Structure 1
């Protein structure tokens, strides 16, 4: 895994001065006149299947996009997940200087500088908040009958991600098909989310992936991350394009749409790849 350090203060200013190339006229449903200077993606079920590595063709597509436009990946996962799913599978010629990483919904922000990934900031939960979240998730899941038997669970159920505590009903390493089958209509997650939220009035409780519940500080969601990204880069929210699979009301990508960021909904990695190939063609044509 790449070593993570604090980004030196003299390097921080360089993240704000992006060239004007790499724009495109977005023709999506939110703002057809927006000039897009950065493309942001969800990770699981958008760029890759849940907790699975990028397919080789998707990795190539993402590298081609990074050659012409800055890209941000924002997801509820921690940096280690970004490393194994994303970074380890990108082609050697990928322009990492143009890649922005926002684990745990933007409560952490990392940039590539002098051959290493560096933390620009990290907004972690306190020890007391982590303890309260862990206890509430376990107690509520057991009370609602959503604490699955050990033989159905693969990997840790509750994970401390620093700035986020995540409950995964089938464990972090559960098979993708098992995750999709566990709660297809989202009703289990909503019951658990509502119960945990009552126990943690001072924290934010949201449904995350297909089997997960995330607990963060209040006001922490992908809209928070996108707002932080705009502040760090100097790129306006109306000049960004967000691509995700859960942009419907109640989905964990929906706060980005509510924020007014131009968005494009996808059904999975294959749909994403087709759409991004079209963006690359438009960017390339626009630059000629």
Structure 2
């Protein structure tokens, strides 16, 4: 079950919430990456990089996303201005199955929960079989469809390197990803299967998702989970940001990076107050 009682909840868009009250309580800020801080697999925009850097100087700030550490580096770290406080930044790639901190001269892995060879093989086999059954094994792809990230197996319907526009058009309602995730979950009852980014399904160890990640971070920072803000675009019950909301964070739903940028612009003066 993970942290706390995971009863069904509805996460409202951030504009429908009391942002002043949330910022007054916020001790930690946490963000999804793809479609939240940046478009899928693309570098963070300069304006976003400046606003995000400002957050690191106001509160401990985390990124929790399904991508590998290298994706965090290429999309976020390489885009950040010198003003960013790296010592306040917590990186939790592959949906929180790994955790990195800045060590002064480089990023150091704090923990990793890798799947066994048998679990990874079963995940790969199920993903291919179910994707073919459901018509999700596309003929044209850009890069590998299935990526073994050690602690997570990720299926990308159009390939890891697909153009952003093609990815965003493939399943705008999330129905195809959700159906594939449900089918694969039936094959792998001992593993965690979730609908991920715009074309992806992620598989990791049971009970290790974004709820686990925020719980770990809360313990490390000695901060109650309900004093953490989590910003993400997939806050629907089938989405991979939803467990962070269920864990008890102050969850803020965004549509895309432009929406997130407006949120950060609104949050900054409130966090400084």
Q: Output the TM-score relative to the length of structure 2.
A: 0.90
Aligned length: 257
Q: Aligned partners of 1:143, 1:67: CA distance in 2, in Å?
A: 49
Find 1:105's aligned residue among 74, 95, 98.
Answer: 95
Q: Is residue 168–residue 213 contact of structure 1 (8 Å, CA) maintained in 2?
A: yes
Q: 1:141 aligns with which of 112, 131, 150?
A: 131
Q: Deviations over 1:22-43 (max 9, x none)?
A: xxxx9349x7596211110000
In the TM superposition, 1:88-237 aligns within 5 A as: 88-149=78-139, 152-237=140-225
- Which structure has the greater CA radius of gyration? 1
Which whole-Å CA distance do the structure 2 matches of 1:116 and 1:72 have between them? 17
Aligned to 2:230: 242
Tell me, which stretches of 5 or more residues in structure 1 are unaligned?
A: 1-25
Counterpart of 1:27 in structure 2 is 18
TM-fit CA distance, 1:56: 0.5
Offset at 1:190? 2.1
Residue 16 of structure 1 aligns with which residue?
none
251-260 or 32-41, larger mean C-alpha shift:
32-41
Deviations 1:51-105 (A, max 9, x none): 1100001001111111121100000111010010011111123210010000011
Unmatched segments (≥5 aa) in structure 2: 1-16
Q: In structure 2, the residue corresponding to 1:271 is in which secondary structure?
A: helix
TM-score, normalised on structure 1? Answer: 0.85
Query: CA deviation digits over 1:132-171, x for unaligned, max 9?
Result: 111111111112221111xx20011100111100000000
Q: Offset of 1:260 from its aligned partner?
A: 1.6
Residue of 257, 265, 270 corresponding to 1:277: 265
Provide the rounded CA distance (Å) in 2 between the counterparts of 1:162 and 1:34.
39
Structure 2: distance between partners of 1:43 and 1:187: 21
3-state SS of 2:261 partner: helix
**1:173, CA displacement in angstroms?**
0.8
Please state if 1:264 is matched with 2:252: yes
Whole-Å separation in 1 of the counterparts to 2:223 and 2:169: 39
Q: Alpha-carbon deviations, 1:216-257, whole Å to 9, x = none? A: 111121111111111121111111111111112222111111
Q: Contact 1:77 / 1:103 at 8 angstroms: preserved in 2?
A: yes
Name the Cα RMSD after superposition.
Answer: 1.6
